[in-house]
């Protein structure tokens, strides 16, 4: 077997192994997420916030905020339910690499460069809950902006777990025109610090 053919076969095998691992993580997370409406609730909130902030009439604007408050409560209950449901899962199924790109068996060869998606989602649940309760005492506009950031960072973590950091960041730009570093800046300091300890992110999100 020629050297070129050897490396071609090796590269194909590694690519297939990586795709298999990603498929397993996608199926694992989907198994839990399918029991909830988290993504649709996120969309309802982000659309509602834009509507509220664009409403010129004060009474109508407040009515929209009141309606969104109910959706927020349903959302945090669902996120907390997801965290609780995933708690007894097999730890081996919950790990993914913190490396920027997806590499086959990375969590086995580099166990120190891995994260547990359950722990990350717990951080997101805490951050989302604090903003919904308005622990920082933000204005309605600033609170809505921060909650959107907290939600999008959670979405980024799910995509990172399923694929890789690079893919998750590219999706965030494509779908929301938002860079990963912007999300880290926009979430609460508590979320940023706890998240950084688990994911190994620096102050610039690298």
Span 69-104, pLDDT tens digits: 999 999 999 999 999 999 999 999 999 999 988 777
- Predicted confidence at residue 95, as pLDDT, reads 95
Q: What is the pLDDT of residue 13?
A: 53
Joined tokens for residue 104? 């086959």
Name, in order, each residue with C-beta under 8 angstroms of 150's C-beta and a sequence gap of 6 or more. Answer: 124, 127, 128, 131, 187, 188, 191
Are 17 and 105 contacting, i.e. CB atoms less than 8 angstroms apart? yes
Cα(49)–Cα(75) distance, integer angstroms:
15
Distance CA 179, CA 174 (A): 9
At residue 200, the pLDDT reads: 82
C-alpha distances (whole Å) from 171 to each of 14, 88, 151, 199 are 24, 30, 14, 18
The three-class DSSP label of residue 108 is: helix
Residue 58: the pLDDT is 81
The token pair that represents 13 in the structure block: 């095998």
- pLDDT value of position 12: 47
- Model-level pTM? 0.90
Please tell me the distance from the alpha carbon of residue 35 to that of residue 115, in angstroms, as a whole number: 23
CA distance linking residue 112 with residue 140, whole number of Å: 40
Decide if 144 contacts 75 (C-beta within 8 A).
no
The pLDDT value given to residue 106: 76
Segments of the chain scoring below 70 in pLDDT: 1-15, 201-206
């Amino acid at each position: 077997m020629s050297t070129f053919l050897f490396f071609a076969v090796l590269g194909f095998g590694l690519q297939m192994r990586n795709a298999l691992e990603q498929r397993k993580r996608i199926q694992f997370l989907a198994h839990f997420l399918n029991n909830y409406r988290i993504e649709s609730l996120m969309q309802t909130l982000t659309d509602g916030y834009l509507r509220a902030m664009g409403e010129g009439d004060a009474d109508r604007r407040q009515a929209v905020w009141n309606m969104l408050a109910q959706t927020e409560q349903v959302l945090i209950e669902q996120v907390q339910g997801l965290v609780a449901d995933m708690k007894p899962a097999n730890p081996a199924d919950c790990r993914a690499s913190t490396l920027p790109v997806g590499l086959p068996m990375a969590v086995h060869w580099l166990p120190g460069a891995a994260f547990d998606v359950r722990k990350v989602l717990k951080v997101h649940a805490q951050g989302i809950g604090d903003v919904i309760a308005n622990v920082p005492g933000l204005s309605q506009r600033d609170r809505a902006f921060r909650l959107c950031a907290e939600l999008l960072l959670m979405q980024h973590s799910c995509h990172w777990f399923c694929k890789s950091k690079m893919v998750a960041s590219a999706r965030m730009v494509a779908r929301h025109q938002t860079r990963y570093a912007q999300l880290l800046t926009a979430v609460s300091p508590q979320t940023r610090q706890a998240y950084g300890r688990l994911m190994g992110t620096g102050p610039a999100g690298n």
